């Protein structure tokens, strides 16, 4: 068969000579290398106290955004749930009542909005599908928990903090 590239290299396997058969020179060489590593800078990041910087396109926990006046942007159109390949998002829509104009931006809003963090694959398609720029995956790593039911995050965990006046 013709070679696919010119990078093929035939390795020669010579029988070991006396010094190599003794193992000791090679062992001492290796020990020198490991000893040098004792004084090198340690790579450890002390995680809970120190967090490594995320990259700019990092996708973490979701957050439901508010607009400039502190109103929820989400209109419960369901496009995020539709686009979600893992079917992790469910929502129940509700109509905005009189007097709630400061809470929700448009006439329709999500009364219940749940993401199952065990199903979510953090692909970011919900973020892309959203016409209202309401959902972003800009949070931290989703923390561990003990029970499956505790991984279903509702609006209490997802919606951004209200604006401070």
23: contact with another protein by CB under 8 A: yes
Interacting residue with another protein among 3, 9, 12, 35 (CB under 8 A): 35
Q: Is 33 in the site for another protein (CB under 8 A)?
A: yes
**38 binds another protein per the rule CB under 8 A:** yes
Residue 150 backbone phi and psi in degrees, to 5: -75, -5
Secondary element (H or E) of residue 113? strand 108-116
Nearest CB to another protein, comparing residues 35 and 146: 35
Binding flag, residue 27, another protein (CB under 8 A): yes
Q: Is residue 13 near another protein by the rule CB under 8 A?
A: no
Site string for another protein, 39-68 (x = CB under 8 A): -xxxxx------------------------
With tokens 């219940």, the residue in question is 112
Minimum CB separation from another protein for residue 44, in Å? 5
CA-wise closest residue to 139 among 163, 125, 157, 155: 157
> Could you give the dihedral angle defined by the CA atoms of residues 92, 97, 99 and 102, in that order, rounded to the nearest 10 degrees?
30
Smallest distance from another protein to CB 11, Å = 20
Strand-pair category, 135-136 with 63-64: antiparallel
6, 17, 34, 57: which one binds another protein (CB under 8 A): 34
**With contact defined as beta carbons under 8 Å apart, do 76 and 159 qualify?**
no
Site for another protein contains 17 (CB under 8 A): no
Cα separation of 23 and 33, whole Å?
A: 16
* Interface ranges with another protein (CB under 8 A): 21-23, 27, 30-31, 33-35, 37-38, 40-44
């Amino acid at each position: 068969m013709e070679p696919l590239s010119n990078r093929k290299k035939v390795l020669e396997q010579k029988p070991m000579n006396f010094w190599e058969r003794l193992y000791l020179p090679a062992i001492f060489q290796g020990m020198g290398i490991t000893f040098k590593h004792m004084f090198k800078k340690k790579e450890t990041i002390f995680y809970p106290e120190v967090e490594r910087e995320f990259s700019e396109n990092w996708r973490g926990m979701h957050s439901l955004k508010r607009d400039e006046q502190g109103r929820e942007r989400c209109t419960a159109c369901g496009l995020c749930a539709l686009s979600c390949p893992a079917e992790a998002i469910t929502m129940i829509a509700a109509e905005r009542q009189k007097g709630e104009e400061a809470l929700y931006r448009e006439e329709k809003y999500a009364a219940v909005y749940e993401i199952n963090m065990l199903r979510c694959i953090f692909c970011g398609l919900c973020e892309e599908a959203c016409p209202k720029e309401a959902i972003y995956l800009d949070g931290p790593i989703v923390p561990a928990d003990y029970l499956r039911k505790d991984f279903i995050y509702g609006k209490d965990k997802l919606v951004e903090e209200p604006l401070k006046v």
